[in-house]
Structure 1
Amino acid sequence: MLACILTLSLAFTFTSCSNGSSGGSDDDSGQVTNTTTSKAIYTVTFDANGGAGSIASVTEVGGAEIFLPANTFTKEGYIFAGWATSADGSVSYSDKAKITLTENITLYAKWGITAADAISAIKSFKSSEEHTVTIAGTITADNLTAITEAINNSRAKISLDLGGATGIDSIGDRAFKDCDYLISMNIPSSVTSIGEYAFSGCSNLTSVSIPNSVTFIGNSAFNCCTRLTSIIIPDSVTSIGNSVFSQCEGLTSVTILGRITSIGTSTFYYCESLSSVNIPNGVTTIGEEAFYYCTSLTSMTIPSSVISIGKGAFNYCTSLTSVNIPDNVTSIGNNAFRNCSGLTSVTIPKSVTSINLAAFFNCSNLKTVNYKGSKEDWEKIRINKDDNEPLLNATMVYNYTGE
């Protein structure tokens, strides 16, 4: 019975507006539009999702920002945690949250329990069972410690939804470190920082939802989360530490929406399944071994804001076939593209003043270097060859474009 109770959730669905006296008209697709604004009209519908009561739907023109009405649904023995976009989904919106209407949507009430009740419930679960635990109301750092201990002791696989919880502004250092049976996590919208090693070693963690309130992610926060497959870093994030996703061997895609200025040392070290990552414009440095041994990375767009590529940044990215280094880069670090055996061509801008030791060493298929300057400009670049290893293959073809 507890498992059923803990998995209850709430979602929003938008339903089509009727024409009637609203002044709207149907287009060929059946979408209602407002003839005055020539914009589509969308509706938010609310579902009690096992609770009682009613809430009137909300209708507005597409693109409008609205505040959701205060929840008046009730459910005996439960606390309203927020709104989900499917009946069994995690909390996506808090009570009275502001949203932008882009479609018809139904929001489902998500029901939770107190932290104390959640800890007791987790302790009662048996090994190998799977449960979703939704916590609402106030939660503390001590509660997080007790939850981690309870999960580790019960060995039940837990999806933890804290999206509707309040009271904490950070996931502290090592909060869930080595919590092997945590399989998913919805972080509260009150949280602004994720501490060092917060989820490090959570070997069965497959998904994490980071809210748009987080501004900082600490060193090695998700290190060795080997089953984590994708991550979205929201646009609120301004700083991420070193080795944040290092050795996340199952990570296939990363979306960085944040306003970060650097990809730190070993950020994606040994993420051997990573095939897609966007680096946002505004990043100025790609740190040492940032993408070391990302052997599935087939392409990389380096934004024009980058001025420095660190030592070993792309070492052993064996699936990379071409690299276009942007015009603002001034230095390319030691072994930056070493052992990129799939690399066939590279474009180097005239802005580069130094290329350190063996930047492209052992790139066995690299045949063409396109340099955006003259041969004389190329010869002025400071190239460190202290260990007598060649910078590039002897058979290389150089194209001096003189741009």
Structure 2
Amino acid sequence: MMQFVRVMALMVLFALGAWNAKGQAQQGWTEYDVDGVKWLVQKVDGSEAYRIKPKDETVGDIRIPALIDNKKIVEIAEDAFTRYGGGLTKVTISGGIETIGSKAFKDCKKLKEVTIEGGVKTIAYQAFYGCKSIKSLVIPASVETVVGNENTFSGEGSFEGCDALSSLKIGAQTIGRYAFKGCENLKEVTIEER
């Protein structure tokens, strides 16, 4: 009887493992290594474009590529660096990426410098929320929307809690309510003509 229970327990564990692997495969993430950074890339539904996120902890200075293995990257995935960006200090978002997803860099507290190259159109809800070390930021004229409160329950914006932010140059057409809430050191704002 004990042997039967062990066999059944092993079968259940193998079944759960197979189910989990199938679930991960359905998500469609493919791994790539670019300049020493391991990236996960997933096709955006109904298009020939892809979203990106890091596979592991990222530290120091990184560039988020707009092309990997002939795959056009148009979006930084939701929550992309929330778990893996604790040591990130500088990020360059390559031209061609169109969307910085919700909470993409949330709570990357050591992030000091962000370079957004032309092409980004949307900076989503809480994209840089709690990035307390960013001091200066240039948002290019290609950005059409900086989202404020996507979720009516929270009212938290794209750059809320960026305490060190003191200088902002922006060319966006629309800046959502609460987009810069709590940026108490923001002293200089330059709005570029489009």
What TM-score does the superposition give when structure 1 sets the normalisation length? 0.34
User: What corresponds to 1:144 in structure 2?
Assistant: none
Please give the residue correspondences for 1:226-237 in structure 2 after superposition, counting only pairs within 5 Å. Answer: 233=32
The answer as to 2:150 corresponding to 1:365 is no
Q: Are the equivalent residues in 1 in contact too, given 2:90–2:111 (CA < 8 A)?
A: yes
Distance 2:166 2:18 in 1: 49
CA deviation profile, 1:291-346 (whole Å, cap 9, x unmatched): 11421112222111111112111101111111122211111111110100111121
User: What corresponds to 1:290 in structure 2?
Assistant: 80
Structure with more contact order per residue of length (Cα contacts < 8 Å, sep ≥ 6): 2
User: What corresponds to 2:69 in structure 1?
Assistant: none
**Number of residue equivalences:** 163
Please give the residue correspondences for 1:168-317 in structure 2 after superposition, counting only pairs within 5 Å. Answer: 174-175=17-18, 195-197=22-24, 218-219=26-27, 233=32, 254-256=37-39, 261-263=49-51, 267-268=53-54, 273-275=57-59, 278-281=63-66, 282-293=72-83, 294-317=85-108
SS, match of residue 27 in structure 2: coil
Q: Which runs of 5+ in 2 are unaligned?
A: 1-9, 44-48, 67-71, 149-156
Distance 1:389 1:351 in 2: 17
Shift of 1:286: 1.4
User: What corresponds to 1:318 in structure 2?
Assistant: 109
CA deviation profile, 1:267-293 (whole Å, cap 9, x unmatched): 559x5x421655332210112212114
Q: Are the equivalent residues in 2 in contact too, given 1:314–1:338 (CA < 8 A)?
A: yes
Find 2:175's aligned residue among 351, 372, 383: 383
Assess, with a 3 A threshold, how the Cα gap between structure 1 residues 174 and 345 changes in structure 2: closer, same or farther.
farther
Distance 1:361 1:195 in 2: 38
Assess, with a 3 A threshold, how the Cα gap between structure 1 residues 307 and 389 changes in structure 2: closer, same or farther.
closer
Q: Are the equivalent residues in 1 in contact too, given 2:145–2:175 (CA < 8 A)?
A: yes
CA deviation profile, 1:64-93 (whole Å, cap 9, x unmatched): xxxxxxxxxxxxxxxxxxxxxxxxxxxxxx
User: What corresponds to 2:133 in structure 1?
Assistant: 342
Name the larger-Rg structure: 1
Among all aligned residue pairs of Structure 1 and Structure 2, give the percentage whose two residues are the same amino acid.
23
Shift of 1:232: 5.8
Q: Are the equivalent residues in 2 in contact too, given 1:196–1:220 (CA < 8 A)?
A: no
SS, match of residue 93 in structure 2: coil
Q: Are the equivalent residues in 2 in contact too, given 1:268–1:292 (CA < 8 A)?
A: no
Q: Are the equivalent residues in 2 in contact too, given 1:196–1:219 (CA < 8 A)?
A: yes
Q: Which runs of 5+ in 1 are unaligned?
A: 1-148, 153-172, 178-193, 198-216, 222-230, 236-252
Assess, with a 3 A threshold, how the Cα gap between structure 1 residues 389 and 300 changes in structure 2: closer, same or farther.
closer
Shift of 1:263: 2.8
The answer as to 2:139 corresponding to 1:355 is no
What TM-score does the superposition give when structure 2 sets the normalisation length? 0.65
Please give the residue correspondences for 1:129-148 in structure 2 after superposition, counting only pairs within 5 Å. Answer: none
Distance 2:180 2:42 in 1: 37
CA deviation profile, 1:74-129 (whole Å, cap 9, x unmatched): xxxxxxxxxxxxxxxxxxxxxxxxxxxxxxxxxxxxxxxxxxxxxxxxxxxxxxxx
Shift of 1:391: 4.0
